[in-house]
């Protein structure tokens, strides 16, 4: 019985189609899976043996030489201390008080200049000023012997507070300028006790403003032999307008 080539190929194809699927899977993946299982079993069997291997302990030589430390004491050094030199005792000198003869009649050349120019930018006050009652003395007053002049003082008279006078409103409105020469007495407490107008130009325009401001001046009183005394002072106050 003879078969042709086409018939043989057809038989082979039909045989392959009739094989089950698990047989085909075993042929393709059976060997690789089996090989992998064997490798894992081998590794698990070797792991306990690798863990139990302990390295050998190092062997030390019993003939090791111990290190010996020898300490040597330092020799005590003798420090020579120098004795402090004795200082010579200072000689006591007797101090004798020196007496000074102070003559009150000796004139001194200290002078006080109290004149100043008025600043017209100050506030203008009312035409009539309220002033404290002041006693005006003449040059021939009987109390002049108890007061001294500037040139007779040992300690100078020092101004502490000098309030400038207020420019009278009427004089400022009429552009009137002038000056006032005044004499006043400073008592032992540095307060102005008496005020006297010596000369005023023009007359009676600036007098009230000058008396009101000088009565509030304060001084450090002048002294003779360290004792505060009353002192007469003369000064001139000028009233001038600034050119606008």
Report the pLDDT averaged over residues 190-215.
Answer: 91
Task: Name 135's Cβ contacts closer than 8 Å, sequence gap at least 6.
Answer: 194
**Beta strand 218-220 pairing with 192-201:** unpaired
Q: Which element (helix H / strand E) includes 231?
A: strand 230-239
The answer as to whether 128 is a domain residue is yes
Q: CATH number, domain at 184?
A: 3.30.2420.10
Residues 22 and 127 occupy one common structural domain = no
The answer as to whether 91 is a domain residue is no
The answer as to whether 64 is a domain residue is no
Helix (H, G, I), strand (E, B) or coil at 121: coil
Residues 39 and 131 occupy one common structural domain = no
Distance spanning both ends of the chain, measured CA to CA: 155
Number of domains in the chain: 2
pLDDT surpasses 90 at 187: yes
Helix (H, G, I), strand (E, B) or coil at 107: coil
How many residues would you count in the chain?
Answer: 244
The answer as to whether 90 is a domain residue is no
Residues 216 and 128 occupy one common structural domain = yes
Tokens of 213: 């401001």
Greater model confidence, 189 or 139: 189
Residues 142 and 228 occupy one common structural domain = yes
**Res. 103 pLDDT band, cuts 50 70 90:** very low
The answer as to whether 141 is a domain residue is yes
Of 50, 70, 87, the last residue of a domain is 50
pLDDT at 137: 40
**Res. 43 pLDDT band, cuts 50 70 90:** confident
Counting residues of the chain whose pLDDT is more than 90, the rounded percentage is: 27
Helix (H, G, I), strand (E, B) or coil at 128: coil
Which domain, by its residues, includes 178?
116-239
pLDDT surpasses 60 at 19: no
pLDDT surpasses 70 at 12: no
Average pLDDT, the chain: 71
Greater model confidence, 145 or 31: 31
pLDDT at 143: 41
The answer as to whether 37 is a domain residue is yes
> For 200-212, how does the pLDDT look when each residue is reduced to its tens digit (9 = 90+)?
988 889 999 999 9
> For 117-152, how does the pLDDT look when each residue is reduced to its tens digit (9 = 90+)?
444 444 444 443 444 444 434 334 334 458 888 888
């Amino acid at each position: 019985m003879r078969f042709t080539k086409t018939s043989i190929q057809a038989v082979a194809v039909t045989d392959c189609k009739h094989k089950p699927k698990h047989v085909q899977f075993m042929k393709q993946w059976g060997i690789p899976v089996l090989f992998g299982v064997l490798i894992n079993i081998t590794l698990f069997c070797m792991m306990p043996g690798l863990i139990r291997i302990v390295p050998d302990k190092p062997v030390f030589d019993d003939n090791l030489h111990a290190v010996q430390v020898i300490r040597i004491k330092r020799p005590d050094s003798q420090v020579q201390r120098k004795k402090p030199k004795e200082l010579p005792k200072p000689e006591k000198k007797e101090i004798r008080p020196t007496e000074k003869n102070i003559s009150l009649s000796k004139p001194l050349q200290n002078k006080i200049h109290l004149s100043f120019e008025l600043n017209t930018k100050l506030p203008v006050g009312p035409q009539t000023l309220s002033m404290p009652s002041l006693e005006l003395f003449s040059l021939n007053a009987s109390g002049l012997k108890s007061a001294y002049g500037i040139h007779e003082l040992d300690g100078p008279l020092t101004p502490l507070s000098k309030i400038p006078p207020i420019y009278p409103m009427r004089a400022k409105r009429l552009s009137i300028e002038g000056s006032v020469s005044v004499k006043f007495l400073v008592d032992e407490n540095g307060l102005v006790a008496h005020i006297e107008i010596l000369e005023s130009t023009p007359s009676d325009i600036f007098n009230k403003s000058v008396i009101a401001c000088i009565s509030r001046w304060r001084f450090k009183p002048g002294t003779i032999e360290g004792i505060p005394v009353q002192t007469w002072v003369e000064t001139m106050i000028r009233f001038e307008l600034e050119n606008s």
